[in-house]
Structure 1
Amino acid sequence: ADHLMAQSWLKQQTGAPTGIGEKVHEIAGLWSDIYNMPNGFDPDRDFDHLFSDGAKFKLGNLDVRVILSPGHTLGSITYVIGDAALVHDTFMHVDAGTTRADFPGGSSSELYASLQRILDLPDDTRLFVGHDYPPVGDRKDPAWEATVADHRANNKHIGGGVSESEFRKLRDARDATLDLPDRMLHALQVNLRGGRLPEPEGDGRSYFKIPANHFTERNT
């Protein structure tokens, strides 16, 4: 099992099925082209369930509803569970704003629409974000939860009724200053295989394929 990463390892250990949004097919096609690996990814093989918008499933005794939330990536998903929503990489914490939308398949316009759809949830819905980068201002501790009402009123990028044009201007300008995250081009080749490393080659080792000149560094 030395070729397995977290998701595949957990599935192997527990037998639990895996799931991802149905737009993973589009993402796989996009990145197959970028890596020049025709048919390099097979979501139907590597994931047990491909969720559509509005899909529902059980997590133990909990009822979960799926909201497809593109913008950060094509396939971003929000999971709504009771009075909580796991909003992944859409919102950051209230004082940090929102996430970038400049990755291949990303869109600040689609992100704005996804954010508004999340903000349409009941005011007391607790939104759990996927990332935080403290300190922001005077805050020293990490934060991961705030209500819809708090984000709607106070979110740094979209609170107070910011228009789509205002949001896109802010988001696109900020994204233009950001480099690719470290090891993103490696991680995608694992994520799109459901947590598996690339198939081992003749020597028994797995190798990553990295495009040398498709992306350019924007900050030096």
Structure 2
Amino acid sequence: MSELLFYTNPQSRGRIVHWMLEETGADYQTIWMDFGPKMKDTAYLAVNPMGKVPALKHGEVVVTEAPAICAYLADLSPEKNLAPPVGNPARGIYYRWLFFAAGPLEAAATAKSMGWQVPPGKSGFIGFGCYEDTINAVEKALSNGPYLCGEQFTAADVYVGSALGWGMMSGSIEKRRAFEAYVGRLYARPAPQRANAINEEYLKQSRQQA
């Protein structure tokens, strides 16, 4: 496997990818990026023209967007069983909720946090429809097992769990018993604990050097 270069900031969605990298057990090099000029310089814009993190470089391949990186890493490490195999019906469930969280769930949570209101009669024009339907759909998806794909933990759980965890902490997603139990199971895994420790240590060192 070519070297994985992981561009991130500890106060970004990079924490999602950091968790996923730890789940794979792959060797990777972390490149810490400060917000501001460093993310907008020519060298980094050649990696991600958006000038944002996270980003993953694998040889000549560059992947941005946290859910895409999680899916890419799952396929890169098939021995870890972080995605149902192609042909397995659970693969459809995996794709469904991975992209649901990246689309309707994030949009609904953002709308709530920003105080945006969908005008009456206009929900059909909005991808997430309405906040209540979106949140109810996620809650129903968690009723089929400890994970989204039943007994199998996947990259979709990394992304959906991260979205729910952050959303409940920030208030953009209401706390529900099913969400708290699900996130609690996920955060008890060794990989997110390792990733979190790495990020917190970097933040601690950065503050000491400031």
Identify which of structures 1 and 2 has the higher relative contact order when contacts are C-alpha pairs closer than 8 Å and 6+ apart: 2
Question: Do the two structures share a fold, i.e. TM-score over 0.5?
Answer: no
TM-score by length of 2: 0.28
Q: Which structure has the highest helix share of the two?
A: 2
TM-score by length of 1: 0.28
In our comparison, the structure showing a higher alpha carbon Rg is: 1
